[in-house]
Amino acid sequence: MPHVTTKFDRPDAALVEQLSKYSSATIHEAQGRLGALSSSIKPVDHTMSLCGPAFTVRCAPRDNIMLQVAIAHARPGDVIVVSAGEYAEAGSFGDVLANACVAKGLGGLVTDTGVRDTLELRELGFPVFSHSVSIKGTVKETVGPIAQPVLIGGELVRPGDVVRGDADGVVVVRREDVADVVGKSQDRVDAEAAYIEAYRSGKSVIEVSNLADVLAAKGLVIDE
């Protein structure tokens, strides 16, 4: 008989809240250009945003029975992360399950398969990031693991790792690295603010980025 566990460590909620203030791109760059899920996984609406500990689930393609199990056992604030083989031709999640998620206070859903009812999802405001949009229905046949590491969008996501999604995409941060990445993300934001101020003061991008010597070493000659 299949047996699953729903118990895993989650990062401190205050740290998750701090991480949510930074964009997915900033976090990706701050942690050494790591953690970015495939660019094929995008929000149903560009205004959607999520940040929370991953509640992972592995589903068979075109089958959402374990997704429903995951929704039933996830905690408020958790983000359901679904690995289903990058199968585009299935609408495995829609407005009915989204309402179940909202009722439980879940933080969002990230999936490498398809979703549907996108108009209703936008109106509901529940953050959904998916590989595709498809009206095709799913079956409820194959049981599998939940709260175990999954591969999604080319990245390994473990239960309790933090996923951050916004208009540009999704990035994962290892749960033990969240505090460090928060600090590095703020450092990057501060540095970028300094670059912008330098541009506004009249400096060129070549000056600000110290590119003159680099370009000269590569033999680039610019006739002005």
Q: Which DSSP symbol is given to 123?
A: H
Euclidean distance between CA atoms 26 and 43, whole angstroms: 18
pLDDT, tens digit (0-9, with 9 covering 90-100), for 56-105: 999 999 999 999 999 999 999 999 999 999 999 999 999 999 999 999 99
Euclidean distance between CA atoms 15 and 13, whole angstroms: 5
Asked if pLDDT for residue 2 goes beyond 80, the answer is no
pLDDT, tens digit (0-9, with 9 covering 90-100), for 94-150: 999 999 999 999 999 999 999 999 999 999 999 999 999 999 999 999 999 999 999
Predicted pLDDT of residue 127? 98
Contact (CB, 8 A) for 195 and 189: no
Q: How far is CA 201 from CA 189, 192, 193, 198, 211, in A?
A: 19, 14, 12, 5, 18
Q: Which DSSP symbol is given to 63?
A: B
Asked if pLDDT for residue 26 goes beyond 70, the answer is yes
Q: How far is CA 4 from CA 22, 92, 159, 169, 215, in A?
A: 34, 21, 13, 30, 56
Predicted pLDDT of residue 1? 63
Q: How many CB atoms lie within 10 A of CB 136?
A: 13
This prediction has a pTM of: 0.95
Domains defined along the chain, listed by start: 13-182 (3.50.30.40)
